[in-house]
Amino acid sequence: MSDPAPTGTEHKPDQLKDGGHAFDGIQEYDNNLPKWWLWLFYATIIWAIWYIPFYHGGPGKVGPDRLKEDLAALAAERASLNAGTALDEAGLRVLASDPARIAAGKQTYAQLCVACHGAEGLGGVGPNLRDRHWLVEPTMTGITTVLEKGGRPGKGMAPYANLGTEAVRNLAVYVVSMNREGLKANPAKPPAADEKETPIDW
Ligand code: HEC
């Protein structure tokens, strides 16, 4: 009988080293492992010599410890962005999920904004702040701008720059957080024709 066609992966019989052990008609061979495989194996050993002491008992942090460290770094970054520093969109977005700012913004909102935008932000005299439709660009920059400069003339949205930069930022953070809590349409206040459908997607 002729041999099956070679596949390119099998050893030729004259390359096989006899391991000196046969059982039940099966011969055990003793061949060298491929070099690439061996080096990969040695590399994992070297890696483990570093990894195990570093992460188990050493300075490396995993799981909850790592999370704690990351949260502390985030808090430090937020603190460094505070106090009137000029911020671009990315900088403002770092603030946008800060619970302390959400709480502060909520308080100011309850005092100054509820009358026109509703306790839940569902709108009234002013537009619904919890739908997918916006007059301004629904970014941190767009929202802080309308708060600082006010809406279009004659529409009823006054400027609130006098509250100060941080209070305006907190209000914008709260508006975004409210919108993110869940979109709610308000049949009593449907989007105006000039509101564009540009949901907050960040
Ligand atoms: C006197 C009523 C009134 C008050 C008070 C008011 N707004 Fe408005 N707001 C409006 C109106 C009207 C508009 C639409 C402006 C326009 O058409 O240019 C608006 C627009 C906005 C927008 C843009 C909405 C969009 O769809 O793009 C935001 C955000 C906003 N207001 C937030 C606030 C916040 C926060 C406060 C409290 C500090 C506040 N407003 C207070 C009436 C009000």
Give, for ligand 1, the residue of 146, 149, 174, 176 to mutate: max count of ligand atoms closer than 8 Å to Cβ.
Answer: 146
- The answer to whether the CB of 140 is under 6 A from ligand 1 is no
- The answer to whether the CB of 121 is under 6 A from ligand 1 is no
Q: How far is CA 50 from CA 56, 59, 137, in A?
A: 10, 12, 50
Nearest protein Cα to ligand 1, atom 2? 116
Give dist(CA 91, CA 74) in Å, integer: 12
* Number of the ligand 1 atom closest to the C-alpha atom of 128: 26
Q: Is the pLDDT of residue 138 over 70?
A: yes
Rg (CA), the chain: 32
Going from the Cα of 135 to the center of ligand 1, the distance in angstroms, rounded, reads 10
Q: Which tokens sit at 133?
A: 């439709």
* Number of the ligand 1 atom closest to the C-alpha atom of 156: 12
pLDDT, tens digit, for every residue of 67-99? Answer: 988 988 888 887 777 666 788 898 899 889 889
pLDDT, tens digit, for every residue of 164-199? Answer: 999 999 999 999 999 988 888 899 888 998 999 999
Q: Is the pLDDT of residue 25 over 60?
A: yes
Give dist(CA 109, CA 119) in Å, integer: 8
Q: Is the pLDDT of residue 17 over 70?
A: yes
* Number of the ligand 1 atom closest to the C-alpha atom of 151: 18
Question: Residue 81: CA atoms inside 13 Å, Cβ hemisphere, count?
Answer: 20
Is residue 179 packed enough to be buried (19+ CB in 10 Å), middle (13-18) or exposed (0-12)? buried
More confident: 87 or 50: 50
Residue 1 confidence (pLDDT): 47
Q: How far is CA 97 from CA 80, 93, 103, 175, in A?
A: 16, 8, 11, 11
